[in-house]
Structure 1
């Protein structure tokens, strides 16, 4: 197996853990749709602290504020496929922050 660096893109979606879409966690629906679209992979991370437009800090350090914690969904794939995913799922992504960045992925290729 030959390993090499491959150009790809990273789609980063920032939202709150209690953001919902049709009564389900929005991050879950994003991952489900990414899988259904055949994208290479998606992961979800829960933050320990953050703030948004309101500038109100949400943190796990204070029990009464341990809600609305930040969540990050990361999807890696080809740039064109990620752009198409965002356009196709605009209804799901309309109220969250979406960023697309170039990345290099260390990939294994069989010969």
Structure 2
């Protein structure tokens, strides 16, 4: 077991910074900084500080669904990349938690 940090970001999938998709910018920043791993999950419904409910409707072709970005790495690496992530995040929620990593990688066969 090892200690690590979980960086969690909640943002709308249509959120932009300088005309570009924020999630794609964040993923690029994380990759360029050699962060161990990241997962982006799509929520089916939610709301944030603006109080606007975002969700899908049966015949709706596009929606600003909530996305959750989970990032796990050492505290040092998370603290290094966090200012860069916050620079491109115009709205949403971003926080960190201490986590215990019990397994990471691939088991040998």
> If the length of structure 2 is used for normalisation, what is the TM-score?
0.82
Alignment equivalent of 2:76, drawn from 80, 93, 101: 80
Please list every run of 5 or more consecutive structure 1 residues that lacks an aligned counterpart in the other structure: none
The alpha-carbon deviation at position 63 of structure 1 amounts to 4.3
Hey, which of these two has a bigger chunk of strand by percent? 1
The alignment covers a number of residue pairs equal to 106
Paired position in structure 1 for 2:91: 95
Contact 1:13 / 1:96 at 8 angstroms: preserved in 2?
A: yes
Please list every run of 5 or more consecutive structure 2 residues that lacks an aligned counterpart in the other structure: none
| Runs of 4+, deviation exceeding 6 Å | none
Q: Does 1:30 align with 2:26?
A: yes
> If the length of structure 1 is used for normalisation, what is the TM-score?
0.81
For residues 99 and 45 of structure 2, the distance between their equivalents in structure 1, rounded to whole angstroms, comes to 26
- Over 3 Å counting, the alpha-carbon distance change for 1:94 and 1:107 in structure 2 is same
